[in-house]
């Protein structure tokens, strides 16, 4: 299993969610976060307004999926979150050792 973590622009969340649903992703966790990358949080366009700040609002999307689906999840997020502008975000892929569904006790792929 893999954990795919994507940091994206907030207005791209709906597009990313819809694209992931189309490829069969059953669930995800979404968190509002702030941070900066190479642009050092300088100038950002958010909801049509340009502003300067040292921390830029972003969305963190976390998806746990079967290992064979991870590459497709990454490609889908990259395609749907891309604006071609600085600050589009990053995608990280990590190995998941174990997953357990609390309600039933199912483990690993069955728990997803």
* pLDDT tens sequence across 13-60: 999 999 999 999 989 999 999 988 776 656 656 677 766 667 888 999
> Taking the model in full, what pTM does it have?
0.86
Both tokens of 111, joined, read: 């728990």
Between residues 74 and 109, which one has the greater pLDDT?
74
Whether residue 105 contacts residue 30, with contact meaning beta carbons closer than 8 Å, is answered with no
Cα separation of 64 and 70, whole Å?
Answer: 8
Task: Calculate ∠ Cα 72-109-107, nearest 5°.
Answer: 155
Cα–Cα distance measured from residue 8 to residue 61, given in angstroms and rounded to the nearest whole number = 8
Query: Which is nearest to 47 in space by CA: 60, 38, 35, 56?
Result: 56
pLDDT higher for 3 or 50?
Answer: 3
How many residues does this entry show for the chain?
112
């Amino acid at each position: 299993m893999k954990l795919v973590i994507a940091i994206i622009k907030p207005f791209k969340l709906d597009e990313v969610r819809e694209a992931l649903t189309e490829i069969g992703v059953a669930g995800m966790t979404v968190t509002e976060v702030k941070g900066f990358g190479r642009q050092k949080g300088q100038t950002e366009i958010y909801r049509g307004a340009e502003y300067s700040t040292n921390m830029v609002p972003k969305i963190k999307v976390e998806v746990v999926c079967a290992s064979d689906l991870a590459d497709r999840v990454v490609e889908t997020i990259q395609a749907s979150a891309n604006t071609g502008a600085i600050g589009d975000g990053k995608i990280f892929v990590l190995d998941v050792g174990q997953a357990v569904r609390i309600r039933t006790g199912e483990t690993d792929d069955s728990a997803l």
